[in-house]
Amino acid sequence: QLRAGRSRIISLLVLDMANPFFVDVASGAERVARGASLGVMLCNSAQSVTEEADYLSLFAEQRVRGVLVTPADLTGRNLTEFRRHRIPFVLVDRVLPSAEGCSVSVDDVLGGRLAAQHLLDQGHASIAYVSGPMSLQQCRDRRDGALAALTDAGLDASALHVLEADRLDVPEGRDAGARLLGMDPRPSAVFCANDLLALGVLQALFAEGVRVPEDIALVGYDDIEFAAAAAVPLTSVRQPAVRMGRQAAELLLEETGDEADRHRHQSIVLEPELIVRDSTLAPR
Q: What share of the chain is helix, strand, coil (3-state, %, to 5)?
A: 40, 20, 40
**Shorter beta-carbon distance to ligand RIB: residue 62 or 135:** 135
Q: Please report how close the Cβ of residue 130 comes to ligand RIB at its closest, in angstroms.
A: 12
95 DSSP 8-state letter: -
Q: Residue 89: name the closest of 282, 260, 278 by CA.
A: 260
Burial of 27 (0-12, 13-18, 19+ CB in 10 A): middle
Question: 168, 130 in Cβ contact below 8 A?
Answer: no
Q: In what order do the strands lie in the sheet with 66-69?
A: 39-44, 9-14, 66-69, 89-92, 102-106, 267-270
Provide φ and ψ at 39, rounded to 5°.
-110, 160
Put residue 252 in one of left, alpha, beta given phi > 0 → left and psi -120 to 50 → alpha.
alpha
Q: Please pick, from the candidates 11, 44, 138, 279, the single residue that binds ligand RIB as defined by CB under 6 A.
A: 138
Is residue 194 within the footprint of ligand RIB (CB under 6 A)?
yes
CB count within 10 Å of CB 236 equals 31
Stretch that binds ligand RIB, among 12-20, 56-64, 205-213, 227-235 (CB under 6 A): 12-20
Number of residues that bind ligand RIB (CB under 6 A): 11
**Shorter beta-carbon distance to ligand RIB: residue 208 or 271:** 271
Q: Please report how close the Cβ of residue 21 comes to ligand RIB at its closest, in angstroms.
A: 4
Q: Please report how close the Cβ of residue 47 comes to ligand RIB at its closest, in angstroms.
A: 7
Q: Please pick, from the candidates 73, 93, 141, 172, the single residue that binds ligand RIB as defined by CB under 6 A.
A: 93
**Shorter beta-carbon distance to ligand RIB: residue 168 or 170:** 168
**Shorter beta-carbon distance to ligand RIB: residue 36 or 46:** 46
Question: 274, 149 in Cβ contact below 8 A?
Answer: no
- Site for ligand RIB, residues 57 to 76, rule: CB under 6 A: none
- CA–chain centroid gap for 84, Å, is 27
Q: Please pick, from the candidates 222, 223, 250, 255, the single residue that binds ligand RIB as defined by CB under 6 A.
A: 222
CA dihedral 153, 174, 43, 76 (to 10 degrees): 40
Stretch that binds ligand RIB, among 16-24, 55-63, 145-153, 260-268 (CB under 6 A): 16-24
Stretch that binds ligand RIB, among 14-22, 34-42, 76-84, 262-270 (CB under 6 A): 14-22
Q: Please pick, from the candidates 168, 170, 198, 201, the single residue that binds ligand RIB as defined by CB under 6 A.
A: 168
Is residue 235 within the footprint of ligand RIB (CB under 6 A)?
no
Stretch that binds ligand RIB, among 11-19, 77-85, 201-209, 245-253 (CB under 6 A): 11-19
Is residue 78 within the footprint of ligand RIB (CB under 6 A)?
no
| Pairwise CA distance, residues 119 & 237, whole Å | 12
For the CA atoms of the chain, what is the radius of gyration? 20
| Pairwise CA distance, residues 98 & 116, whole Å | 29
**Shorter beta-carbon distance to ligand RIB: residue 73 or 93:** 93
Give the footprint of ligand RIB on this chain (CB under 6 A): 15-16, 19, 21, 93, 132, 138, 168, 194, 221-222
